[in-house]
Structure formats: structure tokens, C-alpha cells
Amino acid sequence: MEKQTNNTKKAVLIFLGYAGFALIACLMKTGALAGFDNAIRDAILSLRCGALTALFVPIAHSGSWFSVMPILIVLLALPKTRWSYGIPAGAATAAAQLFYQVLKRIFRRARPDMALWLVKEHGFSFPSGHSITSFLLYSMLIVLFIYYYVNEGRTLVIYRKNPKPTTAYFKSFKGTLAACLLCELYIALMGITRVYVGVHWPSDVLASWCLGIANITILYMVFCTGKPLVKEEIVYVTPCGKEIEK
């Protein structure tokens, strides 16, 4: 019964995420969001000052594919993080790229007036590629931080037939909480800064977050759903062929 309830909650999150995106997309195409977009954008642009601009411009740039790639390369290159973090994070980033590249070409929404831009951009506006990339990548890291803390580094469920436990996780609740809050703060700041630098409408960001909610739920189900291995089930084989448990 509990498993069925959890699956229902996940299905609801997926539905709400995609339905939220569809609703925003429909309202955007009909022009019904013009008042909302202008009001929120103007409020954010009114905050512009030298100090915020110096802080927000680098953040706005940091969600690009070229900025994310070094993080993925490091996670995939290090043996301790390759399977535990690199593969899930890579899957999340690839999903973001697929969705926003396709959807931008479908909706072809123009960006705000170039006179407002603080950074150079190209292509279409809807949805925000930087926002969905940061949402999925850092939400995936949040999922992993919590999973490994709760399960003491045991392998992700997707690797059940070929266990790949990790020691690269936060051992304390405070460390896990701090890491998760920093990731959440970054996700929020990415959305705000993309509007602040003038290259996105607020609804671009909201639509990206809706897609992010649906897709991170699916990724969670793929990598983490199911019964994790108990400690005694994690068996290692030495070079001599002897099986040991850790």
C-alpha cells in the first residue's frame, strides 16, 4: 500500500509538471502572459545596481552547457564519483539539453528587447535552457546527496545487479542539508538572474522549472526507486577471487 501511494505521488508530480508547462506554453502563445511577464520583469530590472550586476552576470553565465561540462567531466573522470554521481548527473543534463533544444525550435519565442541585455545571447527564449539545465543537474545532486546519506553510501537501485556503492557522500545531516540548500539557492538564483540580465521572460523560467519537476521525478524513479541493497548484500571480489562483504 505504501509503495502504491508513493508511486501515485510521483505520477501526480510528473503530471503537474508537464501540465504546468503546457498551461504556461498555451498562455504564452495567446499573449495572456504579457502583463505578468512585464510586471515581474520590470520589478526584477528595477533592482539593477553595480553590486548585483557584478554578482548576477557570472551566475547567469554559469548555467550554460560549456560551464556545466567541466563539472560532468570531473565527476565522470574520478572513479569514486563516476557511477555514483557522474552517470546520474550526465543523464539529467542530457535530458535538459534534449528538452530545451527541441522546445525552443517548436515555440520560437523572441527574447526581450536587446536594449535590456547585460549579456550576449542567441536563439529563442522559451523555455530557458540555463534554468532547466541548472534545475535538473542540481536537483539530481540533491536527490543523490539525500539518497546516499539515508542509505549510508549504498549503491543506487539502478545498479542493483552490479553494485557500485560510494564513500563520496556527506556523513552528517548538517552537511547534507547545507549541500542541498546551496543547490536549491543556485537553482533559484539562476532563474532570477536570467531575467535580471534581460535575456528571458519570467514565464520562460517558470516553464523550465515545471519541466524540471516532471523530469527530475522520472530520473529519481529510474535511479533510486526500489529497495536499496542492505549492507550485507554488497559483495566485493578480490583479485584472488575471494568474496568479501563490506
Q: How confident is the model at residue 161 (pLDDT cuts 50, 70, 90)?
A: confident
Phi, psi of 81 (to 5 degrees): -120, -5
Residue 243 forms beta bridges with which residues? 237
pLDDT surpassing 90 at residue 24: yes
What does the DSSP 8-state code read for residue 235?
E
Q: What is the tens place of the pLDDT at every residue in 133-142?
A: 999 999 999 9
Q: How confident is the model at residue 239 (pLDDT cuts 50, 70, 90)?
A: very low
Q: Would the pTM of this model clear 0.85, i.e. be above it? A: yes
Q: What is the pLDDT of residue 227?
A: 61
Residue 236 forms beta bridges with which residues? 244
Per-position b or e across 152-166, b if 16+ CB within 10 A of its CB: ebbbbbbbeeebebb
Q: What is the tens place of the pLDDT at every residue in 73-104?
A: 999 999 889 999 999 999 999 999 999 999 99
> How far apart, in Å, do the first and last CA atoms of the chain sit?
32
Q: What is the pLDDT of residue 3?
A: 63
Average pLDDT score, the chain: 88
Percent over 70 (pLDDT), the chain: 90
CA distance linking residue 62 with residue 58, whole number of Å: 6
pLDDT surpassing 80 at residue 13: yes
Q: What is the pLDDT of residue 245?
A: 46
Per-position b or e across 182-197, b if 16+ CB within 10 A of its CB: ebeebbebbbbbbbbb
Q: What is the pLDDT of residue 236?
A: 44
pLDDT surpassing 70 at residue 243: no
Q: How confident is the model at residue 14 (pLDDT cuts 50, 70, 90)?
A: very high
Q: To which residue does cell 553510501 refer?
A: 153
CA dihedral for 66, 70, 71, 73, sign (positive or negative): positive
CA distance linking residue 189 with residue 63, whole number of Å: 10
Cell matching residue 63: 548555467
CA distance linking residue 212 with residue 131, whole number of Å: 9
pLDDT surpassing 80 at residue 193: yes
CA distance linking residue 126 with residue 106, whole number of Å: 9
Among candidate residues 25, 136, 147, 155, the one with its CA nearest the CA of residue 89 = 136
The set of residues, in sequence order, having a beta carbon less than 8 Å from that of 133 and lying 6+ positions away, is 63, 64, 65, 68, 93, 96, 97, 100
Cell matching residue 171: 556523513
Q: What is the tens place of the pLDDT at every residue in 99-123?
A: 999 999 999 999 999 999 999 888 8
Q: What is the tens place of the pLDDT at every residue in 31-72?
A: 999 999 999 999 999 999 999 999 999 999 888 878 899 999
CB 157 within 8 A of CB 226: yes
- CA 86 to chain centroid, in Å, comes to 14
